[in-house]
């Protein structure tokens, strides 16, 4: 099989998966419980989620390892199990994907801030390296450093994966400011992200979470203003969340999201999938708008 970047460079838009977290909660994950421990304790449930996105038509699925950096696992006193949990996450998604779909090893932020002195660069790098190596061992095709907001942390995570020979995707989470600019929590613009993560070694970049397709279209346009060629991945929420009776609701149905797919492609996106509030039904509806030719 081709590498992910070779597949993207063939020019066909690819479909990625949707939300995992909400799905785990539906299957009984309690708040306060470590989602990645489920790779061992509830393997069949995690496998079922991965399979549901393959069945929905995704070309690419992620892994249940978003919070499996040693620093993040520390919260659950599971730091020592980082290798085991990441390798299991990769093996589960590999099993669901088979050899003809791609698996991206998910690497999320640690929650520790370099500028606050909560952690050193070496500690962050070493932790990301352990995570990337275990995901590689478990069989992922590439690493997806995602939901980042700080350039320093993202760059360390990208480097750690690139330096063991992995292709790296890196996405940041942007929010629209009152002035209408897109910025991460740490004040990073899409253009600043592009430059920094390319330098660190990412070959695919993009945005995930925080926004629905409407905002993602504007973010992709901003990326395309500074880089016309790097492949762009979008994992969008099912619209911007609204509060209803104290509950967070993601308002966009599969059909609503599917209607915007062509506009997102026209803006320059190469890989399209979902984040919070999206389900296999959303991914199936997106797939219908991006037919496979063979």
| Residue ranges in contact with Zn ion by CB under 5 A | 209, 275-276
The least distance separating Zn ion from the CB of residue 22, rounded to whole angstroms, comes to 9
Nearest to 163 by CA among 206, 204, 130: 130
Residue number, 158 or 209, with CB nearest to Zn ion: 209
Nearest distance in Å: CB 259, Zn ion: 20
H runs (alpha helix) in the chain: 4-9, 21-26, 38-41, 43-55, 70-73, 82-97, 121-138, 151-162, 190-200, 213-226, 254-259, 261-267, 280-289
Least gap, CB of 218 to Zn ion (angstroms)? 18
Q: Which is nearer to Zn ion, 92 or 275 (CB)?
A: 275
- Cα–chain-centroid distance for residue 58? 14
Phi, psi of 58 (to 5 degrees): -70, 145
Tokens of 206: 């993009």
- List strand residue ranges (DSSP E) for 165-251, in order: 167-172, 175-176, 182-183, 204-208, 232-236, 242-244, 247-249
Name which of 132 and 238 has its Cβ closer to Zn ion.
Answer: 238
Nearer to Zn ion, 204 or 238 (CB): 238
Q: How far is the CB of 100 from Zn ion (least distance, A)?
A: 27
Instruction: Please report how close the Cβ of residue 107 comes to Zn ion at its closest, in angstroms.
Output: 15
Closer to Zn ion by CB, 240 or 288: give it.
240
Closer Cβ to Zn ion, 91 or 275, answer by number: 275
Distance from C-alpha of 230 to C-alpha of 228, rounded to nearest angstrom? 6
- CB-based burial label for 266 (10 Å; 0-12, 13-18, 19+): exposed
Residue-wise over 52-80: b if at least 16 C-beta within 10 A, else e? bbbebbbbbbbbbbbbbbbbbbbeeebee
Which is nearer to Zn ion, 39 or 278 (by Cβ)? 278
Rounded to a whole number of angstroms, the minimum distance from the CB of residue 21 to Zn ion is 8
Taking the complex as a whole, how short is the minimal distance between the CB of residue 99 and Zn ion, in angstroms?
Answer: 29
């Amino acid at each position: 099989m081709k590498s992910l970047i070779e597949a993207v460079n063939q020019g066909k838009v690819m479909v990625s998966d949707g939300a995992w977290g909400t799905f785990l909660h539906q299957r009984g994950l309690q708040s306060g419980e470590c989602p990645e421990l489920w790779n061992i304790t509830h393997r069949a449930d995690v496998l079922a989620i991965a399979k549901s996105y393959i069945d929905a038509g995704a070309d690419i699925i992620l892994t249940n390892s978003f919070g499996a950096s040693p620093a993040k696992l520390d919260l659950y006193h599971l730091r020592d199990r980082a290798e085991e949990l990441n390798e299991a996450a990769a093996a589960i998604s590999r099993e669901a994907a088979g050899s003809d779909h791609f698996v991206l090893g998910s690497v999320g932020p640690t929650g520790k801030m370099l500028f606050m002195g909560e952690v050193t660069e070496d500690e962050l790098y070493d932790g990301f390296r352990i995570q990337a190596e275990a995901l590689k061992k478990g069989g992922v095709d590439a690493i997806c450093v995602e939901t980042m907001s700080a350039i320093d942390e993202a760059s360390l995570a990208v480097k750690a994966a690139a330096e063991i020979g992995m292709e790296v995707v890196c996405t940041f989470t942007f929010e629209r400011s009152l002035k209408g600019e897109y910025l991460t929590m740490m004040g990073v613009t899409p253009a600043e992200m592009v430059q920094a993560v390319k330098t660190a070694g990412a070959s695919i970049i993009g945005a995930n979470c925080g926004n629905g397709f409407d905002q993602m279209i504007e973010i992709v346009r901003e990326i395309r203003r500074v880089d016309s060629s790097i492949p762009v991945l979008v994992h969008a929420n099912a619209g911007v969340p609204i509060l209803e009776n104290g509950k967070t609701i993601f308002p966009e149905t599969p059909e609503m999201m599917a209607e915007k797919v062509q506009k997102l492609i026209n803006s320059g996106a190469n890989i399209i999938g979902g984040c919070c509030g999206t389900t296999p039904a959303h991914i199936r509806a997106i797939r219908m708008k991006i037919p496979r030719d063979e």
